[in-house]
Structure 1
């Protein structure tokens, strides 16, 4: 009978440790954890910087689905423009929208293949559950050619990506 009295506390401890490990994994990968977003000011990237809601110039809807495509796949914005992206996941799989350069997206996609459960928490990333929508505000303060992609393992490799041309002022 005494053995049974240890079962409940042991199960509670195992559950708690599992939750702590999951949170630690989410927070540990190269600054992708949500806690890192709250602790740091917006960081300038080659493709721009996190935008502010009160400075949005326009909204752009991005649809994503299980054909591993974004609609639209190509965007054109003006340098200095702040865009509110509204991401609509019309599929039955989790999808994401990650801004970057071809090189940064290639590198990150390779990391995602090694750690497929990796969660994202940076301002230039939106993770969108099936049949849900997400939002991101981004200021494109650098002219050039940039890209967006779904970096969930296998999605990027299946062609789930698009491009953004930022026209110089």
Structure 2
């Protein structure tokens, strides 16, 4: 076994941290890109969402936290933007058919979900409760989100989601 001289030990002690730092700097962009999640919070009140306009990027995982600060339950649905009439005039069935989550993997933590087959179409959040919706936007466009409980949409509980 060979004995290290004091000079060799000093070089190794000083060189190792430099090498480790270089490796971390090279790996940092790779790890940060994989960890990106778009997070936004929507507060539900009687009878509105705050904020009422939100933006997401297509292909980047999203996490929407719904907080119900109202006195009654509220729904959260995302559907195609109504063209000539309000979504409520088009009907709950129309909102279900144009549901943004159709055919997409969605995870919901908390709240009550209503499904049509494998597809999530609405989330109901009780007063004082919080629900988290996780998905990766796959389709760009401008969509509406709203609460279709009788009287809520008409009172203004709707918003716009733009996905680019």
Q: Assess same fold via TM > 0.5.
A: yes
Q: CA deviation at 1:144?
A: 0.9
Q: CA deviation at 1:137?
A: 1.4
Q: Unaligned stretches of 5+ in structure 1? A: 1-53, 113-118
Checking the alignment, whether the CA contact within 8 Å between 2:39 and 2:64 is kept in structure 1 is yes
- The equivalent residue for 2:114 is 120
Q: Give the RMSD, CA atoms, in angstroms.
A: 2.7
Larger C-alpha radius of gyration, 1 or 2? 2
Q: CA deviation at 1:105?
A: 4.0
Q: CA deviation at 1:111?
A: 7.8
d(CA) in 1 for partners of 2:151 and 2:81? 16
d(CA) in 1 for partners of 2:77 and 2:69? 17
Q: Which residue, out of 42, 45, 57, partners 1:65? A: 45
d(CA) in 2 for partners of 1:123 and 1:136? 11
Q: Which has the higher helix share?
A: 1
Residues 128 and 82 of structure 1, relative CA distance in 2, 3 Å threshold: same
1:101 equivalenced with 2:101 (yes/no): no
Checking the alignment, whether the CA contact within 8 Å between 1:149 and 1:162 is kept in structure 2 is yes
Determine helix, strand or coil for the equivalent of 2:61.
strand
Determine helix, strand or coil for the equivalent of 1:81.
coil
Report Cα offsets for 1:112-163 as digits up to 9, x if no partner: 9xxxxxx723534211001111121122111111111011111111111001
Checking the alignment, whether the CA contact within 8 Å between 2:45 and 2:68 is kept in structure 1 is yes
Instruction: Give the 4+ runs in structure 1 shifted more than 3 A.
Output: 103-112
- The equivalent residue for 2:13 is none
Q: Structure 2 length as normaliser, TM-score? A: 0.57
d(CA) in 1 for partners of 2:75 and 2:154? 14
Paired residue total: 107
d(CA) in 2 for partners of 1:154 and 1:141? 31
1:87 equivalenced with 2:84 (yes/no): no
